[in-house]
Chain A
Amino acid sequence: MSIIVNLDVMLAKRKMSLTELSERVGITMSNLSILKKGKAKAIRFSTLELICEVLECQPGDILAYKE
């Protein structure tokens, strides 16, 4: 898949753990793990909005396109 998920990079920049993000966003750890590993097939706008809100970033900081 050519869409890269940079969630781990953003978490490192914000010095936040996956567990904390999970608690603040309200998404299960297993789902966040799927997203972080790039195994997810799709992401809802609502989920993306919540993650961006908590991490104080833009969708482009989390998702990137790589050929």
Chain B
Amino acid sequence: MNQQDQDHGVQSIDILIFIFQAMKILIWISLVMSSVLIIVTLIPNEGALKNIVPPPNFVVYFSLPEELGIVQWGDGNTTPFSIVSALGVIKTSFAPKGLVLFYSFMTILTTLLILFSIIFTIRILKSVKKKAFLLVENAVRLRWIALLGIGIYFTDRITSTVTSSQLSKYLQFPEVDFTGINFFAFLNFESIFGSMFLLVIAEVFRMGAQLKEENDLTI
């Protein structure tokens, strides 16, 4: 590798560290906001603070079973369609205290998991910058990032499923069916597949790091 390539490599690592540091700050802000929401929700009396901090926007699953539209295919054929599964976000000025608390708690949990995965990523990037990448510690960090990714997937899905199923009892909108459990959303394995793949990579990386360590300590 020539000097120019090495310089580009260091620059791109610096940029990545900067991006992840910025993300970390944003996550901290989000964490503080969620904590404030929990505190405001726990205040027993209606106060001015409650007007300033509205309930969060909730995720809902819904369907439009009626055939409302028409698909116009390029060959001239037309056919009606319905929406069998959709994901949306609702905004309301009031929400039950229990639901807001659950949603805020789960948001904090998910945010914490994201924060830890960002911290681990920053540590890996810093070790890359120091040119000490193939370490067992980094393999352990990669494994944690993968496990946190799986955790994020489940907390996110559980939150949206619980809030959606709770709200589906109360929400009314013409020709819209609000559903609690949405298998299309829950069985979206793309993100969890990425985490599982990272878990395998972390294990291979750990073995490689151990081999290197053994080689380095062979006299």
Q: Which of A42, A44, A47 has the most CB of B within 10 A?
A: A42
What number of A-B contacts does a CB cutoff of 8 Å give? 23
Q: Is A43 an interface residue (CB 8 A)?
A: yes
What separation, in Å, do the CA atoms of A41 and B219 have in the docked complex?
8
Which one, B20-28, B176-184, B210-218, is touching chain A? B210-218
B213: contacting residue among A27, A32, A35, A41, CB under 8 A? A41
Q: Mostly helix, strand, loop or mixed at chain B's interface?
A: mixed
Interface size class of B (residues with CB under 8 A): under 10
23 examples of A-B residue contacts, CB within 8 angstroms: A27-B219, A31-B219, A32-B219, A34-B217, A34-B219, A35-B219, A39-B217, A40-B217, A40-B218, A40-B219, A41-B213, A41-B214, A41-B217, A41-B218, A42-B214, A42-B217, A42-B218, A42-B219, A43-B218, A43-B219, A44-B218, A44-B219, A47-B219
Which residues from chain B sit less than 8 Å from chain A, CB to CB? 213-214, 217-219
Chain A contact residue count (CB 8 A cutoff): 12
A65 to chain B, nearest CB (A): 18
Interface string of A40-55 (1 = CB under 8 A from B): 1111100100000000
